[in-house]
Amino acid sequence: MKKTFLTAVALAAVLVTTGCSSGSDDESAAPTSSGSAAAGAGAATTGKVTVLAAASLTESFDKIGTLFEQLNPSAEVTFSYGGSSGLATQITSGAPADVFASASPATMKTVTDAGDNSGEPVTFVKNQLVIAVPKGNPKGITSLAALAKPEFKVALCADAVPCGAAAKKALAAGGVTVKPVTLEQDVKSALAKVKLGEVDAALVYRTDAKAATADVDGVEFPESAQAINDYPIVALKDATNPSGASAFVAFVQTPQAQQVLADAGFQKP
């Protein structure tokens, strides 16, 4: 299994087709069997499956990919992680991929609106916001309302990205007005600002806070229930390995995969 982190739309096509397949040319041909969709049952899936997934899924999907390959030894899963909307742009621009897992229904809609999906998207996990604070919570931030205090430096995600939209919703639900010092381009950047101590708090997904437990604590707050984020997944129309694609989509919904996601802090849909 190989990982690639792609940002440039232009490079995506080149890398996915050439860079990632190096050393596995013999396997990259179209699947030889007609592959059952019931991948969880261990029916053989072969060939390469290229999955574009939201950055917040990185750790979980890496594990799920390994499990999938153990069950399907002749299959090879390649992940490309990135911001959901960037990935959506890549797909609508024709990047060759088999599966798209997004962090928001809105970005998924971009893909389905363009008709690039094969079958309906399925929500496979939910994620909700927590307040990420430096380890030990030195400023004693325990509620969403505390973020409105002017002495705290707060990082939010930009409105344009899903975590920003969710934060906006949650703040509105709590009637809290926060003056952030920065609107980060994605949730990992917001979290990095907390890790580096540049801000006192940031609104991030619970999964991201959990992945960074060494440096940050996640403070749960009730208003987050108003801004739960659905993660949809779908097989893509132009998939080079349609059976592999649907097999992977199905596998993500198996209890085995769901456990991995739950361990990472995701909630069941």
Can you state the angle between helices 105-113 and 84-92, rounded to 10 degrees? 0
Which candidate, 116, 123, 131, places its Cα nearest to that of 235?
116
Tokens representing 70 are 């153990």
Among 182, 253, 256, 267, binds another protein (CB under 8 A): 182
34 appears as a binding residue in the annotation: no
Binding-site string for another protein from residue 150 to residue 179, where x marks contact by CB under 8 A and - marks none:
---x-x--x-xx------------------
Among 113, 198, 238, 263, binds another protein (CB under 8 A): 198
Number of residues that this document lists for the chain:
269
Q: Of 41 and 160, which has the nearer Cβ to another protein?
A: 160
Q: Of 184 and 223, which has the nearer Cβ to another protein?
A: 184
How far apart are CB 153 and another protein at their closest, in Å?
A: 7
Phi-psi region of 115 (alpha: psi -120 to 50; beta: other; left: phi over 0): left
Q: Of 140 and 255, which has the nearer Cβ to another protein?
A: 140
24 appears as a binding residue in the annotation: no
The secondary structure element, H or E, covering residue 221 is: none
How far apart are CB 20 and another protein at their closest, in Å?
A: 21
- Report if residue 86 touches another protein, rule: CB under 8 A: yes
Q: 18: Cβ–Cβ under 8 A, 6 or more apart, which residues? A: none
How far apart are CB 128 and another protein at their closest, in Å?
A: 21
Whether the Cβ atoms of residue 214 and residue 1 lie closer than 8 Å to each other = no
| Binding residues for another protein, total number by CB under 8 A | 21
The dihedral through the CA atoms of 250, 187, 211, 140 has a sign that is: negative
Q: Which residues are annotated as a binding site for molybdate?
A: 56, 84, 187, 205
